Structure 1
Amino acid sequence: MRLTLSLSTLAFASLSLAQSHPLLSSGPMLGYSEMTEASIWVQTTQKATVQIIYKPKNSETWLKSNPTPTTTDNIATVILPNLPTGTKFDYKLTINDQEIKRNYPLEFQTQPHWRWASNPPLPPQLKIGLGSCAYFNESRPGFDRPGTPYGGDYEIFDALHKTRPDLMLWLGDNFYHREMDWLTEQAMRYRWRTDRAHPSIQPLLASTNNYATWDDHDYGPNNSDTSFRLKDISLQLHKEYWPQVVYGTPETKGVFTRFEWGDVEFFMLDNRYHRTPNDYPGGPAKTMLGKGQLEWLKQSLINSDKTFKIIACGGQMINPLVLFEAFGQFPTEQKELFDFIAQNNISGIMFLSGDRHHTELLKVQWPGASYPWVEYTSSPLGSGTGTRPNEQNNPARVPGTLVTEKRNFGLIQVSGPWRDRKLTLTAHDKDGAELWKHEVKESEMRAPRN
């Protein structure tokens, strides 16, 4: 055991040393990618100018982005516009005209233009990584609990990276504020900056497009809600560290957003900014999403023409066992949304969630819905594991999908020809070994047209 620990520590130290550079704090990280535009995020150790040098993989000609000066917290998000569609690129990072070499691939891609490019259409095959609850141990004494560190198994991020997902969905609790962190803006910035620089996640960030929502621990305190006094600081930090085309709407703040990749559309929900306290009296005023976000989601779902409509949230959405934080704590709002989906015959609905420190696949037939809905809960990536005895026999759980006592991540592979697509869901342990597999076919998620 001591030898194993020593070798693991040595490997981690070697990775840290190989990645260190006096000008680079963390990144580069791929943010969003669209058909003709991509974003790359970088955090430096001082005010600097960042530039990306890139080329299509089948080309020998290197191109340069516009020089981008760092802003708050020495962050620069480099926007690469006017790119060819469906193209894979190699790239290099320079800070103050110095190339910052990494010992792992620096690659990005643009989405393909597929819908009208052939008849029948050829939607792209897609691999999606997902996970939640990533606790990074604190090196400063007194900030973490004494005894055995709460976080660990950080090799899980290398295993995830080796699966080569096209995009990664961070499903909340993507890091953990400590008690001393959520009291001031600068303390919160310390936590964001420190945990984003963790060496274990850098290779994954550098070649996978990253999209994130939050849950309580990366928003603020445990079980935090709209009453959190620094919620607007938290919102600003999320926007700074997770670049996205747009967050919220002009009328409604939040980290909720929608984006598409191929014939899949993703709806990332915000279950914190507008959330009333868990102990708030029941009734229409008790809300998880808030009126503005709920209306945005309803309109977005009915507007979407994608094969699959994946709704991602920091907490569970369809679990009938409402023992802890879940959408079921807000029955009026939950019923309004789910009845809307059922009554409007919206096809291709699937839910993703994190939070629970265990993984499971749930399947629920909502009254009036023409097909059962599936929810994949994936947790944890790096925090503690476990489940409660009163949840062991959840009737909504797909048999064989409960994962406890193991840190794990999820994959969703989207494949198949037009009009006959399928989702292949798998769970994997910290070394990448498959724990379970489940398929959901497009034909099983098809509602009759109104």
Structure 2
Amino acid sequence: MKKSQIFRTLLLVIIGLSAACSINRNASKQDKAQKANTTSEVIRIAFGSCNKTDSENKLWDDILANEPVMWIWGGDNIYADTDDVEKLRAMYLAQNQIEGYRKLKENTMVTGVWDDHDYGLNDGGEEFAAKNESQQEFLDFMGISKNDSRREINGIYSKAEISTPTGLVNIYNLDTRYFRSKLKKSTERNRRYEPDTTSSKTLLGKTQWAWLEEELTNSRAEFNLIISSIQFLSSEHGYEKWANFPHEVEKMKEIIVKSGAKGVLFLSGDRHISEFSKTSIKGLNYPIIDFTSSGLTHSYTEYSGEPNKYRVGKVVNTVSFGIIELDLTAKEVTMKILTDGNVLLQELKQSY
């Protein structure tokens, strides 16, 4: 067996998923993640979003060839757009039976989040009537035990942890759907939504916010990856984004700074384009990066440009997936946008 295969096998043993186990208004506690030792100091994670079960995904073999220790779903893992539980279940079943994805699951730990189309309502939030039923189907798709505490809480937010002798990597899967307040429609042409400064509106909800703040504050990880189905930094386009709730963006920045968490990095999807966004935050000694990877089976091929003052490099508008390599010794992250044939389209490195 190759050394890389041995490392991958060992790492698969050490990754444990834990979820909030309290449904009260206080910060939810987490189950302890499973841990074991491994000699690997560079952790490779793959992620992507926007995947149609009735369209060919040519990327699964390429993703598997990178030998990631973890695959992260970034949302729109299927395109159901329905409150019909049977239809939703059938589409998840179809995805699980796709050979390339099945092989990936056999070799790689899987975690992640949903977005609107697998949630069940286009651009949907707290108003979706079938969200509780949809949550259970999502958890089934992710292979979560019927006895897992995630079955008892509202929302699909959860934590995953990768442990090595050199340090930890924490992954926080955010739910940007279940609690999200209604979006403010834009009156401008070619813009779907506009920022809403109403302080009572929320993106994550009180319980999830409290959970995330507690987790970041108590984190001992060298890197903390925050998985958001929608973009955190890109703020000028007229679609779904964190910037539609400016006070929630500021709250996130304040929590990151106050927590003292190391190496916070956002991974996002939704847009059918891939790009890197980067900015500095006062009080933080490293930049915040939002790595958007979208989509897996279809992309915004008609893309002709849009502003993003935080963009680094160019927009990729072909099908692609993301690779994140976390060097725990050098405290460096290498981020790659790849397409069919493992062709490298763009790369960004950042030291922490």
Question: TM above 0.5, one fold?
Answer: yes
1:301 and 2:216 correspond: yes
Matched, 1:348 2:263: yes
Residue 371 (structure 1) aligns with: 286
Q: Which residue in 1 is equivalent to 2:75?
A: 172
Indicate whether 1:125 and 2:42 are aligned.
yes
**Which residue does 1:207 correspond to in 2?**
107
Aligned equivalent of 1:403, options 309, 316, 322: 316
Moved over 6 A (4+): none
SS, match of residue 122 in structure 2? coil
Secondary structure of the corresponding residue to residue 411 of structure 1 = strand
Return the alpha-carbon distance in structure 1 between the equivalents of residues 284 and 14 of structure 2: 34
| 8 Å Cα contact 1:130/1:169 also seen in 2 | yes
Q: 1:37 to 1:269 in 2, by over 3 A?
A: closer
Cα distance, 1:381–1:239 mapped onto 2, change above 3 Å:
same
The alpha-carbon deviation at position 342 of structure 1 amounts to 2.1
- The equivalent residue for 1:20 is none
1:413/1:371 CA distance change after superposition, 3 Å: closer
* Alpha carbons of structure 1 residues 377 and 387: separation in structure 2 relative to 1, 3 Å: farther
CA 1:191–1:278 in structure 2 vs 1: closer, same or farther (change >3 Å)? same
Which of 343, 347, 350 is the aligned partner of 1:437? Answer: 347
User: 2:189 maps to which residue?
Assistant: none
Shift, 1:34, TM fit: 5.0
Segments of structure 1 that go 5 or more residues without pairing to the other structure are: 1-29, 39-109, 115-121, 138-150, 443-450
Q: SS of 2:14's equivalent? A: coil
Does the aligned pair in 2 maintain the 1:357–1:387 contact within 8 Å? no
Superposition deviation, residue 278 in structure 1: 1.2
| Unaligned ranges ≥5, structure 2 | 1-8, 18-33, 186-195
Considering Cα pairs closer than 8 Å and 6+ residues apart, tell me whether 1 or 2 has the greater RCO: 2
**Highest Rg: 1 or 2?**
1
| Cα displacement (A) at 1:111 | 5.5
> 1:244 & 1:304 partners in 2: Cα distance?
24
- CA displacement 1:159-212 (0-9 Å, x = unmatched): 11111111101110111105xxx1322222222222322233221121111112
Match of 2:327 among 415, 430, 433: 415
**Does the CA contact (< 8 Å) of 2:219 and 2:261 recur in 1?**
no
- CA displacement at 1:339 relative to structure 2: 1.5
In structure 2, the partner of 1:217 is: 117
Aligned pair partner of 1:162 in 52, 55, 65: 65
**Whole-angstrom distance in 1 between the partners of 2:302 and 2:252:** 28
The one-letter code matched in structure 2 to 1:35 is I
Give me the whole-angstrom Cα distance separating, in 1, the residues matched to 2:335 and 2:78: 24
Identity %: 26
Residues 298-335 of structure 1 show CA distances to partners (whole Å, capped at 9, x for unaligned) of 11101101000110111111223252101111112221
Name the CA shift for 1:188/1:349 in 2 (closer, same or farther; >3 Å). Answer: same
2:107 and 2:129 mapped to 1: Cα distance? 36
- Give the letter aligned to residue 242 of structure 1: M
Segment drifting more, 382-391 vs 312-321 = 382-391
Matched, 1:190 2:104: no
User: Which whole-Å deviations, capped at 9, do the CAs of 1:218-245 have from their partners, x for residues lacking one?
Assistant: 1112111111111001001111121358
TM-score (norm 1): 0.64
> For the structure 1 residues 220 and 37, does the alpha-carbon distance in structure 2 shift closer, same or farther, using more than 3 Å as the test?
closer
Q: Report the Cα distance in structure 1 between the residues aligned to 2:86 and 2:280, rounded to whole angstroms.
A: 46
- Label 1:36 to 1:186 Cα distance change in 2 as closer, same or farther (>3 A): closer
Letter in 2 for 1:422: E
Cα distance change of structure 1 residues 371 and 320 upon mapping to structure 2, 3 Å threshold: farther
Aligned to 1:272: 177
Contact persistence 1:132–1:173 (CA under 8 A): yes
How many Å separate the matches in 2 of 1:337 and 1:388?
Answer: 30
| Conserved? CA contact 1:345–1:370, under 8 Å | no
- RMSD over aligned Cα, in angstroms? 2.5
How many residue pairs end up in the alignment? Answer: 311
